[in-house]
């Protein structure tokens, strides 16, 4: 089934086989298979039933095409296929039922794609190209046991400060720069933009996990996560807003557990409300990135959340990041902000509207869109600091203390003249 992270025994497997219900589909698939270097004789007549019978007694291919046209209950039959199909197989299905609910249910049960019949060779090519991409997604097996897992929660002290932008960027950088397989868990279940920032459809994985926590296991993670690239996979949702979130938090905790086993790094986009409801979500986080702005309201809530973290997650190293920093004008100056929260800001990220707009248009994380810009460099620094918390000996560790200071100094020079004052009411709870 659609378990691209861990093609166990992939070496012994055929790259492709297809079970189709009619000659026309077989004829159409043949040249496409040949183009892709697959043996055309692997296209067999018989549909889903034959697929189940065959795979019950033989190794599953890497990519499986299965025709559901003769199936009376495709969803049920797909589950029968799941029983006999080894993890790691990417399944592309086709059929005559044009029903978006069926499509969604099939995708939720692990199908990579569903092609409505009749489909064109181009549609088949595209579906197989996606299947190949899924196969080359992050591989659990690659996780290196000798490196401690790096789990970081990103929390915005107020709405809209840029927590998701930063979470997505850190996750992307951990994959891209640090070359570590990374999971991004977006726990803003109704309004999350983690997937959107990466130009991905969130899928139903997270919603399913919340509805059925007992289903969460390694295989579920492999199937439900949406791959952004070779190193990064995302679990997020756009849950219907007429449905309240009903969860005692077990699902989230289990997801964290499974992600820790399956990936080298996990970045959790953690809305403040979730923190209040499910404090245990921070237990396994080595670091917490607290994102703030230089405003009065942000100062008040930074104080409160820092105090909460001290009491509830003392093991998690806090990195305070000021985002959208504007030189010269701010409601509260950096100095006063730091005095107020009784600690230093670890990192400043300047505001860059142009880059943010470009990233949104390209569907890329801010860190990728602005690699060489100041914003991109600051985000890369942050990602290195996040890794360093869990793995001080990482090759991709951040600059030395002195270099960091020099760097912070130069940013401070630029932003140090922020004007503003925190009135006395923004004092600690």
Ligand X SMILES: Nc1ncnc2c1ncn2[C@@H]1O[C@H](COP(=O)(O)OP(=O)(O)OP(=O)(O)O)[C@@H](O)[C@H]1O
For Mg ion, the binding residues (CB under 5 A) are 163-164
CB of 201 to Mg ion, least distance (A): 18
**Position 239 contacts ligand X (CB under 6 A):** no
Closest by Cα among 271, 317, 260, 295 to 167: 271
Of the ranges 330-338, 349-357, 385-393, 404-412, which one interacts with ligand X (CB under 6 A)? 349-357
Cβ closer to Mg ion: 187 or 319? Answer: 187
**Position 236 contacts ligand X (CB under 6 A):** no
Q: Which residues contact 413 (CB under 8 A, 6 or more apart)?
A: none
CB of 236 to Mg ion, least distance (A): 10
CB of 181 to ligand X, least distance (A): 23
Taken in order 48, 54, 56, 59, the sign of the CA dihedral is negative
169-198 residues in contact with ligand X (CB under 6 A) are: 188, 193
Which of Mg ion, ligand X, none interacts with 351 (beta carbon under 5 to 8 A by kind)? ligand X
Which of ligand X, Mg ion, none interacts with 137 (beta carbon under 5 to 8 A by kind)? none
d(CA 269, CA 260): 15
**Position 363 contacts ligand X (CB under 6 A):** no
Cβ closer to ligand X: 165 or 266? Answer: 165
The string of DSSP letters for 331-383 reads: SS-HHHHHHHHTS---EEEE--HHHHHHHHHHT--HHHHTTTSHHHHHHHHHH
In Å, the largest CA–CA distance within the chain is 79
CB of 397 to Mg ion, least distance (A): 28
Cβ closer to Mg ion: 194 or 350? Answer: 194
End-to-end CA distance of the chain: 52
Cβ closer to Mg ion: 137 or 194? Answer: 194
Tokens 């943010």 found at:
356
Exposure string of 158-193, with b = 16+ CB inside 10 Å and e = fewer, is: beebbbbbbbbbbbbbbbbbbebbbbbbbbbbeebb
Question: Would you say 255 and 233 are in contact if contact means Cβ atoms under 8 Å apart?
Answer: no
The upper half-sphere exposure of residue 82, i.e. CA atoms within 13 Å in the direction of its Cβ, equals 18
Of the ranges 49-57, 103-111, 123-131, 162-170, which one interacts with ligand X (CB under 6 A)? 162-170
Binds ligand X by CB under 6 A, chosen from 2, 71, 165, 182 = 165
Q: Which residues form the interface with ligand X (CB under 6 A)? A: 156, 159-165, 188, 193, 323-324, 349, 351-353, 356, 360, 375
């Amino acid at each position: 089934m659609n378990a691209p992270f861990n093609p166990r025994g992939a070496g012994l497997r055929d790259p492709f086989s297809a079970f189709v219900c009619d000659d026309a589909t077989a004829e159409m698939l043949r040249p496409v298979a040949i183009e892709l270097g697959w043996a055309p004789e692997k296209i067999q007549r018989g549909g889903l039933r034959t697929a189940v019978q065959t795979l019950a007694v033989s190794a599953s291919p890497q990519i499986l095409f299965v025709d559901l046209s003769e199936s009376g209950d495709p969803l049920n039959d797909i589950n029968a296929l799941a029983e006999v199909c080894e993890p790691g197989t990417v399944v592309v299905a086709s059929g005559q039922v044009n029903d978006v609910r069926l499509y969604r249910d099939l995708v939720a049960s692990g199908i990579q794609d569903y092609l409505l019949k009749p489909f064109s060779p181009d549609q088949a090519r595209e579906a197989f190209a996606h299947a190949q991409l899924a196969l080359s997604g992050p591989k659990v097996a690659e996780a290196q046991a000798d490196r401690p897992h790096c789990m970081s929660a990103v929390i915005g002290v107020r709405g809209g400060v840029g927590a998701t932008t930063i979470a997505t960027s850190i996750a992307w950088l951990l994959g891209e720069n640090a070359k570590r397989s990374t999971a991004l868990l977006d726990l803003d279940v109704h309004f999350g933009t983690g997937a959107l920032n990466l130009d991905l459809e969130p899928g139903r994985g997270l919603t399913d996990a919340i509805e059925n926590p007992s289903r969460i296991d390694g295989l579920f993670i492999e199937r439900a996560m949406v791959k952004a690239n070779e190193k990064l996979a995302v679990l997020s949702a756009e849950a219907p807003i007429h449905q309240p979130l009903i969860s005692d938090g077990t699902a989230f905790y289990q997801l964290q557990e499974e992600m820790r086993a399956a990936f080298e790094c996990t970045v959790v986009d953690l809305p403040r409300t979730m923190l209040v409801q499910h404090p245990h979500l921070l237990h396994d986080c080595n670091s917490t990135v607290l994102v703030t702005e230089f405003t009065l309201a942000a100062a008040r809530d930074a104080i409160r959340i820092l105090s909460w973290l001290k009491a509830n997650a003392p093991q998690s190293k806090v990195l305070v990041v000021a985002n959208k920093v504007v030189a010269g004008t701010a409601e509260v100056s950096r100095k006063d902000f730091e005095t107020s929260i009784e600690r230093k800001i670890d990192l400043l990220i300047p505001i860059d509207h142009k880059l943010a707009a470009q990233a949104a248009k390209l569907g890329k994380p801010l860190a990728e869109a602005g690699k060489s810009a100041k914003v991109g460099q600051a985000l890369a620094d942050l990602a290195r600091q996040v890794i360093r918390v869990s793995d001080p000996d990482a090759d991709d560790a951040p600059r030395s203390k002195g270099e960091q200071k020099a760097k912070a100094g130069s940013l401070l020079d630029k932003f140090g003249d922020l004007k503003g004052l925190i009135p006395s009411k923004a004092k600690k709870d």
